[in-house]
């Protein structure tokens, strides 16, 4: 049986030579995700209620994480919702959230525990949503995800995705992410971004303080790949999408073209 060769970012299958994404585990970050990001991400997800309400066939959310966006998509819509989440730690929070939401939600949402590239769901959606995922995919996987999304959507369907950064930071930079009080403790994270060749390494250090003293410290590292406008245009055209504009600042509206439109768009 072939074993995978890991370099921390991707793994190469010795049988077929394909470089696949090393899916981040979120085994540390899942615990802190909603505490530190929940308020902001829930607020911005509300902007997607209108496109979700307009869906007539189905919705796919890829990289649903803990379900902060899923919750809005499900409550605003009345169609089947397929959520894709490969990381078990994030999925545990997502499933708990869905279970607490009641029978209407449980009857309409299907959770797929695989990477988006492996989701076979031909023409079952008119809306796909992907927030805070694309930048974390190595280029080969990112291109594969555009093509997968095109298969899930009907021609004319809409893909909403936040635009990855255009450039690497010129030098390492650090910032504090969130600061939330829970009982007598304060939760926060320090994020350090290190440019490394074609990508940026994101080191998260989670800190829990009690009366000013650090009582817990936990770390997890992620990676992001920037994408120029030219690369983005080329990848979208190859996968059969047209950039229509922005749904909200930084969230792109990508229209799935039909076959004839793809040919015209490429020429």
- Give the nearest distance from C-beta 2 to ligand SAM in angstroms: 20
133 touching ligand SAM, by CB under 6 A: yes
- Give the nearest distance from C-beta 130 to ligand SAM in angstroms: 7
Interacting positions 222-251 with ligand SAM (CB under 6 A): none
63 touching ligand SAM, by CB under 6 A: yes
**Pairwise CA distance, residues 245 & 242, whole Å:** 9
- Of the candidates 190, 188, 194, the one whose C-alpha atom is nearest the C-alpha of residue 204 is 190
Binding part of the chain for ligand SAM, among 65-73, 169-177, 226-234, 239-247 by CB under 6 A, reads: 65-73
- Give the nearest distance from C-beta 153 to ligand SAM in angstroms: 16
CB 112 within 8 A of CB 128: no
**Cβ atoms < 10 Å from Cβ of 209:** 16
- Give the nearest distance from C-beta 146 to ligand SAM in angstroms: 12
115 touching ligand SAM, by CB under 6 A: yes
52 touching ligand SAM, by CB under 6 A: no
Binding part of the chain for ligand SAM, among 71-79, 110-118, 194-202, 236-244 by CB under 6 A, reads: 110-118
Contacts of 266 (CB under 8 A, 6+ apart): 237
Nearer to ligand SAM, 224 or 236 (CB): 224
Which H or E run includes 84? strand 81-84
73 touching ligand SAM, by CB under 6 A: no
Nearer to ligand SAM, 164 or 262 (CB): 164
Q: Rounded to 5, what percent of the chain is helix, strand, coil?
A: 35, 35, 30
132 touching ligand SAM, by CB under 6 A: yes
Which H or E run includes 147? helix 139-152
HSE-CB at 151 with a 13 A cutoff on CA atoms is 11
Please provide residue 126's backbone torsions phi and psi, each rounded to the nearest 5 degrees.
-115, 0
Interface contacts to ligand SAM, rule CB under 6 A: 21, 23, 26, 41, 62-65, 68-69, 84-87, 90, 115-117, 131-133, 136-137
């Amino acid at each position: 049986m072939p074993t995978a060769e890991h370099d921390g970012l991707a793994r190469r299958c010795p049988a077929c030579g394909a470089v696949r994404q090393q899916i981040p585990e979120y085994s540390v970050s899942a615990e802190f995700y909603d505490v530190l990001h929940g308020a902001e991400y829930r607020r911005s997800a509300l902007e997607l209620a209108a496109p979700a309400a307009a869906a007539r066939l189905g919705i796919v959310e890829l990289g649903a994480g803990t379900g902060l966006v899923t919750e809005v998509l499900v409550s605003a819509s009345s169609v089947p919702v397929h959520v894709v989440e490969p990381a078990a730690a994030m999925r545990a929070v997502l499933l708990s959230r869905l279970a607490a939401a009641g029978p209407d939600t449980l009857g309409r949402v299907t959770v797929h525990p695989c990477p988006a590239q492996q989701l076979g769901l031909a023409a079952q959606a008119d809306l796909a949503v992907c927030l805070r995922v694309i930048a974390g995919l190595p280029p080969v996987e990112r291109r594969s995800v555009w093509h997968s999304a095109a298969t899930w959507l009907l021609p004319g369907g809409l893909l909403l995705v936040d635009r990855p950064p255009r450039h690497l930071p010129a030098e390492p930079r650090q910032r504090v992410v969130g600061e939330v009080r829970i009982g007598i403790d304060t939760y926060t994270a320090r994020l350090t971004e290190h440019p490394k060749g074609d990508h940026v390494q994101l080191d998260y250090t989670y800190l829990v303080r009690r009366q000013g003293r650090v009582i817990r410290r936990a770390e997890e590292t992620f990676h992001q790949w920037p994408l120029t406008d030219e690369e983005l245009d080329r990848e979208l055209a190859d996968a059969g999408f047209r950039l229509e504009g922005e749904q909200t600042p930084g969230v792109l509206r990508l229209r799935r073209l039909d076959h004839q439109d793809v040919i015209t768009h490429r020429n």
